[in-house]
């Protein structure tokens, strides 16, 4: 414990001890106040300055220490100083004392509470940053809530101290005036509780609701102001409850849920149903990775007692299989399937004309305009192609155009060392390309665990990929009719010859020809939304890649659920997406799967943690499969089994992650995983083995020593 905290704890403990030891509670009763009323009035008459200063300091001290008796102090203010002076004294003293209690709670408790419940405090802080003053004002206006609890709880947040003081000063004023005024008629009071009768409490409670009503009214007025310029476009009746623009993962889930909730919903797609994941991303890349992994395993057959395996392949046939896999899955996302689920599916480009009007232009040029109560923009994303001199002339590949290849590039440059860059670099190297992977950052996979990223790099280089981190691409040019990339590294400028160059630098929201600029909706790498996925228009929402911040298919589905509920029931109920437990998998070989914090993000968040590491080389199933490369790394708070984050590196890492994601989502610790029977021999046993490693590290050594003595005694 820091010295400042130690001294503060000692001071508070001493003050509480003296309060109890000296029985000071007796002086904070209505009976004592009545008995000493005349004496106190005489003291005030003879020594007003001392009386005022002493009263103010005692009130501040009592409030700061959260001792009972604030009502009696307030009554004493009215009884001694009258309504006007008493109100001033009580108002300032109570606000100063409450702020001191707020600061004590922040200094003593916030760091420890944040270490354990940081994810919860983060969400509370985000909410308070938006409307915290309104909520605090409501709590202060309603004396049903113990003020000392408000001081304690809000001290754990990041609310600015000056905001807390000013809002407390204002919020406690109505009740202060009433109680101080009651103190001026001290003789007529039978008990402090008699001041705040049921009718008065009801009045104050109604008053306390005013700030929240004001906050919502302001939000309503902002929405009205935004929609006001479009008032003439608002229809009296609507053709649809919801129009969904884009039939990728987010759009499909949104339209299906809306139909399941019996809304009239139209889904508009201008290209192919299934979006990026089915047609350009998850599905085709995993199909190609499967082929490349099979080739690699055949080359490594000697490790399994097979003398030799010779494999020949036609790259065009490999790509034909990729397209066949996409075609086999496409019916899951087809217009026919969704029409059977109650969704109207239209092919064409959808453009917003107003907040309630969508123009749909079919391939043949025919247009129709539909009116709708709400819109969900699920327009997806497009690859980022850098403005690199000479790059456009090289016709660079992206994740959208890569699947049109019919010839294997002999020399391939991959720009970007993120998930897609690493996956495809390894994939093409295994197929036979000479691959150079260029990354501007100091290491690959900056979002992933550093140890996992280092292992991926080691594997890529072992399989023939030239990995250049800390290198910045400068230009593309021709040298003697050869395509060349010029890049600057830590030591020199280099030139890399290539046949094809692949841009794997991430994706940004697809917004072209959607009408966003007409409505003034901001869009960059993603479309700007609030915490409820709404744009500046309360009836237009965004989900999936277009919304960000995470461009994963499961996140798109998660956002789609929230966007659907908010779009259909926003006037009655709203819900916000929760990204705290977000599993993700990198499909290199070995795979890298993670959920929650890595070591780097935990340190950046100021969390204390310990690491439990279980190597797959000790897992029986991994040994039988010859897949011992990798590990399970678990982050937990010191001495506790609660999961802060998990990273798994190895074959089937993505499949193994599910158990940890479930445990994190529902607050289950490692002891629960250890107590669960797992099938043997399986890769899933790695979770139990990791939990066992944590348990062994936290075995109660003192108890074990006594058990050893007990068993020794039993042996005689």
Which of 104-118, 185-199, 414-428, 562-576 has maximum average pLDDT? 414-428
The residue with greater pLDDT, 25 or 504, is 504
| Residue 333: per-residue pLDDT | 94
Q: How far apart are CA 265 and CA 338, in angstroms?
A: 11
State pTM to two decimals: 0.77
**pLDDT tens for each residue of 463-494:** 999 999 999 999 999 998 899 999 999 999 99
Considering the domain architecture, whether residues 375 and 421 belong to the same structural domain is answered as no
Q: Is the pLDDT of residue 27 over 70?
A: no
What's residue 29's pLDDT?
A: 55
- Asked if residue 594 and residue 667 are part of one domain, the reply reads yes
Q: Is the pLDDT confidence value at 234 over 90?
A: no
Using 50, 70 and 90 to split pLDDT, how confident is the model at 402? very high
Edge to edge, the sheet with strand 493-498 lists 472-479, 482-488, 493-498
712 within domain boundaries: no
| 468 shares its domain with 517 | no
Give the pair of three-digit tokens for residue 600: 């780097």
Q: Is the separation of the CB atoms in 410 and 428 below 8 Å? A: no
**pLDDT recorded at residue 129:** 60
- Check whether residue 87 and residue 51 sit in a common domain: yes
Among residues 502, 534, 561, which one ends one of the domains?
502
What value does the mean pLDDT take over residues 187-212? 51
Q: Are residues 253 and 362 in the same domain?
A: yes
Query: Are 398 and 335 contained in the same domain?
Result: no
State whether 371 and 441 are in the same domain: no
**Residues 79, 138: one domain?**
yes
* pLDDT, tens only, 154-168: 777 778 888 878 888
Among 485, 502, 519, residue at a domain's last position: 502
In this prediction, residues 385-403 reach a mean pLDDT of: 95
Select from 166, 200, 216 the last residue of a domain.
Answer: 216
- Rounded to whole angstroms, the Cα distance separating 625 from 591 reads 15
How does residue 393 score in pLDDT terms, banded at 50, 70 and 90? very high
Higher-scoring residue by pLDDT: 180, 294? 294
- 89-142 confidence digits (pLDDT tens): 888 988 888 888 888 877 776 666 555 555 555 555 555 565 556 666 666 655
Percent of the chain whose predicted confidence (pLDDT) is above 70: 82
Q: For residue 234, is it within any domain?
A: no
Give yes or no: residues 350 and 444 share one domain. no
Q: Does residue 677 belong to any structural domain of this protein?
A: yes
Q: Which residues touch 436 (CB under 8 Å, ≥6 apart)? A: 411, 412, 413, 414, 465, 466, 468, 496, 498
Q: DSSP letters along 74-91, please?
A: HHHHHHHHHHHHHHHHHH
What 3 state SS string does 400-439 have?
CCHHHCCCCCCEEEEECCCHHHHHHHHHHHHHCCEEEEEE
571 pLDDT higher than 90: no
Question: In this prediction, what percent of the chain has a pLDDT beyond 90?
Answer: 59
Residues 367 and 436 in one domain: no
Structure tokens that stand for 224 in this block:
């009205």
On whether both 22 and 158 belong to a single domain, the answer is: yes
Residues 333, 310 within the same domain: yes
Structural domain count, the chain: 4
> What is the predicted pLDDT for the residue at 468?
97
Residues pairing with 595 in the sheet: 646
Report yes or no: 390 and 398 within 8 Å, Cβ to Cβ. no
Average pLDDT over residues 372-397: 95
Confidence of residue 426 (pLDDT cuts 50, 70, 90): very high
Q: Select the more confidently predicted residue: 506 or 154.
A: 506
CATH number at residue 312: 3.50.50.60
Question: Which pLDDT belongs to residue 206?
Answer: 52
The answer to whether residue 30 sits within a structural domain is yes
pLDDT, tens digit (0-9, with 9 covering 90-100), for 646-689: 999 999 999 999 999 999 999 899 999 999 999 999 999 999 99
pLDDT of residue 35: 66
Domain assignment of residue 672, yes or no: yes
Would the pLDDT of 1 be above 50?
no
Q: What is the pLDDT of residue 200?
A: 45
pLDDT computed for residue 51 by the predictor: 84
Contact 94, 63 (CB under 8 A): yes
pLDDT digits (tens, 9 = 90+) for 452-463: 999 999 999 999
pLDDT at 201 over 70: no
135-139, 541-545, 556-560, range with the lowest pLDDT: 135-139
| CATH assignment at residue 631 | 3.30.390.30
Which domain range does residue 156 map to? 3-216
540 phi-psi bin (left φ>0, alpha ψ -120 to 50, beta other): beta
pLDDT at 127: 55
Is 115 a domain residue? yes
pLDDT tens digits for range 298-308:
999 988 999 88
Mean residue pLDDT across the chain: 85
- Assess whether pLDDT exceeds 90 at residue 9: no
pLDDT tens across 71-89, in order? 677 777 777 788 888 888 8
């Amino acid at each position: 414990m820091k010295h400042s905290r130690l001294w503060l704890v000692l001071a508070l403990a001493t003050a509480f001890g003296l309060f109890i030891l000296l029985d000071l509670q007796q002086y904070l009763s209505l009976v004592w106040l009545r008995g000493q009323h005349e004496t106190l009035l005489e003291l005030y008459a003879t020594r007003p300055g001392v009386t005022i200063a002493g009263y103010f300091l005692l009130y501040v001290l009592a409030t700061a220490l959260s001792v009972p008796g604030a009502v009696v102090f307030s009554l004493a203010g009215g009884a001694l100083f009258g309504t006007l002076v008493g109100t001033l004294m009580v108002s300032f003293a109570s606000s100063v004392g409450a702020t001191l209690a707020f600061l004590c709670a922040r200094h003593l408790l916030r760091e420890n509470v944040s270490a354990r419940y940081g994810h919860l405090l983060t969400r509370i802080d985000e909410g308070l940053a938006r409307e915290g003053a309104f909520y605090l004002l409501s709590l202060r206006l309603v004396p049903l809530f113990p003020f000392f609890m408000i001081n304690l709880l809000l001290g754990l947040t990041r609310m600015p101290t000056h905001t807390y003081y000013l809002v407390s000063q204002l919020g406690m004023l109505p009740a202060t005036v009433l109680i101080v005024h009651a103190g001026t008629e001290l003789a007529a009071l039978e008990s402090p509780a008699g001041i705040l009768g049921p009718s008065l409490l009801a009045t104050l409670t109604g008053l306390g609701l005013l700030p929240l009503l004001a906050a919502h009214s302001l939000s309503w007025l902002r929405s009205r102001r935004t929609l006001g310029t479009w008032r003439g476009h608002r229809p009296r009746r609507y053709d649809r409850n919801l129009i969904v623009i884009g039939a990728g993962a987010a759009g499909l889930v949104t339209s299906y849920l809306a139909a399941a909730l019996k809304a009239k919903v139209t889904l508009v797609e201008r290209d192919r149903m299934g979006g990026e994941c089915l047609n350009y991303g998850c599905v085709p890349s995993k199909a190609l990775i499967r082929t490349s992994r099979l080739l690699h395993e055949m080359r490594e057959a000697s490790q399994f007692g097979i003398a030799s395996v010779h494999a020949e392949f036609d790259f065009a046939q490999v790509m034909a299989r990729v397209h066949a896999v996409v075609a086999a899955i496409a019916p899951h996302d087809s217009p026919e399937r969704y029409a059977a689920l109650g969704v109207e599916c239209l092919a064409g480009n959808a453009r917003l004309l107003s907040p309630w009007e969508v123009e749909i232009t079919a391939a043949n040029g025919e247009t129709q305009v539909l009116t709708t109560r709400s819109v969900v923009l699920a327009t997806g994303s497009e690859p980022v192609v850098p403005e690199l001199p000479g790059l456009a002339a090289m016709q660079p590949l992206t994740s959208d155009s890569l699947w049109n290849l019919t010839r294997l590039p002999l020399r391939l440059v991959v720009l970007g060392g993120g998930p897609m860059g690493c996956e495809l670099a390894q994939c093409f190297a295994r197929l036979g390309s000479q691959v150079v992977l260029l990354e501007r950052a100091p290491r690959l996979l900056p979002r992933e665990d550093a140890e996992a990223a280092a292992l991926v790099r080691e594997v890529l280089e072992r399989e023939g990929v030239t990995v250049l981190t800390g290198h910045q691409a400068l230009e593309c040019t021709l040298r003697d009719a050869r395509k060349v990339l010029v890049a600057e590294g830590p030591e020199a400028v280099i030139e890399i010859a290539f046949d094809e160059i692949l841009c794997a630098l991430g994706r940004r929201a697809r917004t072209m020809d959607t009408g966003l600029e007409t409505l003034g909706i901001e869009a960059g790498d993603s479309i700007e939304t609030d915490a409820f996925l709404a744009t500046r228009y309360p009836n237009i929402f965004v989900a999936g890649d277009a919304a960000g911040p995470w461009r994963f298919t499961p996140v798109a589905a998660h956002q789609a659920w929230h966007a659907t509920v908010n779009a259909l029931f926003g006037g009655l109920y709203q819900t916000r997406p929760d990204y705290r437990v977000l599993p993700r998998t990198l499909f290199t070989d070995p795979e890298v799967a993670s959920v929650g914090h890595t070591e780097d993000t935990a340190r950046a968040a100021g969390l204390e943690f310990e690491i439990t590491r279980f190597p797959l080389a000790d897992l029986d199933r991994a040994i039988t499969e010859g897949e011992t490369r990798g590990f399970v790394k678990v982050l937990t708070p010191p001495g506790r089994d609660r999961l802060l984050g998990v990273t798994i590196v190895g074959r089937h890492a993505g499949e193994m992650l599910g158990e940890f994601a479930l445990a994190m989502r529902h607050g289950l610790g490692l002891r629960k995983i250890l107590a669960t029977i797992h099938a043997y021999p399986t890769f899933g046993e790695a979770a139990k083995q990791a939990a066992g490693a944590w348990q062994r590290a936290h075995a109660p050594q003192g108890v074990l020593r006594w058990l050893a003595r007990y068993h020794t005694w039993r042996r005689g």
